[in-house]
Amino acid sequence: MKRLSAKPTVYLIDGSNFSMSGWEKAGGDSPRQLEEDFIGWLEAVARTEALRASCFRVVFDGPCRRTGPAGPSITIYYSDSEPADEMLVERGYFMQSEGVRAVIVTSDNGLRGRAAAEGVKTLTCEAFRAMAAAELRREIR
pTM above 0.85, yes or no: yes
In this prediction, residue 67 carries a pLDDT of 65
Q: What is the dihedral of CA 108, 95, 55, 89, to 10 degrees?
A: -20
Does residue 112 fall inside a structural domain?
A: no
Does residue 110 fall inside a structural domain?
A: no
Does residue 20 fall inside a structural domain?
A: yes
Does residue 10 fall inside a structural domain?
A: no
User: Residue 71 sits in which domain range?
Assistant: 16-105+122-140
Counting the structural domains of the chain, the total is 1
Q: Can you tell me the distance from the alpha carbon of 96 to that of 25, in angstroms, rounded to the nearest whole number?
A: 34
Q: What is the DSSP letter of 62?
A: B
DSSP E strands: which ranges in the chain? 10-14, 55-60, 74-78, 102-105, 121-123
Identify which of 5, 6, 13 has the alpha carbon closest to the alpha carbon of residue 42. Answer: 13
* Residues with pLDDT less than 50, the chain: none
Q: Can you tell me the distance from the alpha carbon of 93 to that of 36, in angstroms, rounded to the nearest whole number?
A: 28
Does residue 33 fall inside a structural domain?
A: yes
Q: Can you tell me the distance from the alpha carbon of 56 to that of 82, in angstroms, rounded to the nearest whole number?
A: 20
Q: Are 60 and 15 in contact (CB under 8 A)?
A: yes
In this prediction, residue 68 carries a pLDDT of 62
CA angle 20, 109, 53 (to 5 degrees): 70
In this prediction, residue 28 carries a pLDDT of 60
In this prediction, residue 138 carries a pLDDT of 87
Does residue 6 fall inside a structural domain?
A: no
Does residue 2 fall inside a structural domain?
A: no
